[in-house]
Amino acid sequence: MKTCFSVLYNLTNEISSKVFQKHGWNPIHSLQNAWKSLCKAFLVEAKWFGSGKLPGAEEYLNNGTIIDRNPDIISTPGTILRLWDDLGNAQDENQKGNDGSYVNYLMNEKPEYTREVARERVMSKISDAWKNLNQECLFHKHFHPTFNKASLNLARIVPLMYSYDDEQSLPELEEQFNSLLYDSFL
């Protein structure tokens, strides 16, 4: 665990330093708060799985997006990421049932939903999130255009992250990710 935290600490500081050098603003506290929120969300999920008392679909999704009380331009890419992740299933990701899925929670809440119907509902939520993100970028000018572009690029890369092949490799993901990340933020 020390190694993981050390890498996370160093990466967060490196990103903060590069953003500060380029834009004159140090996002270290925002990044630290985001990591704290993510770790808390993981703990909540661990408690759910450990107790066997699983949440409802919306409670699960709200915990999974973890970026609360932030403007939509910040939280919406997280929602898109979570929903795309949940379109996969535990068998695809070798999780052996140890991870939740919004698709599964929808099917538990609505027994009349087939997997296909639940997946369609998830795609509809992703579409709504994209509409929200586009609206934020087009009509709400609270953030610098570079930040808007970065939020859009982060959301754009999500489907690419989940387009793995039968061998679960991600062709060209690293190249695309680096291009989007470095062009937008650094």
Identity of the amino acid at 48: W
State the pLDDT at residue 117. 96
Handedness of CA 97, 101, 104, 105 (dihedral sign): positive
pLDDT at residue 50, as a whole number: 92
Asked if 67 contacts 31 with a C-beta cutoff of 8 angstroms, the reply is: no
- The verdict on pTM exceeding 0.85 is no
**Token pair of 44 as six digits:** 């909540």
Which of 106, 103, 151 has its CA nearest to residue 129?
A: 151
The ranges of the chain annotated as CATH 1.10.600.10 are: 54-184
pLDDT recorded at residue 99:
63
Q: What is the mean pLDDT of each run of 10 residues along the chain (186 residues)?
A: 88 91 87 86 91 91 76 87 79 55 92 95 96 91 85 87 65 65 61
For residue 100, give Cα distances in angstroms to 51, 55, 87, 96. 14, 10, 11, 11
Classify the phi-psi angles of 170: left when phi > 0, otherwise alpha if psi is within -120 to 50, otherwise beta. beta
**Helix/strand/coil (H/E/C) assignment for every residue in 17-74:** HHHHHHHCCCCHHHHHHHHHHHHHHHHHHHHHHHHCCCCCHHHHHHHHHCCCCCCHHH
Q: Which CATH architecture has domain 54-184?
A: Orthogonal Bundle (1.10)
pLDDT of residue 134: 94
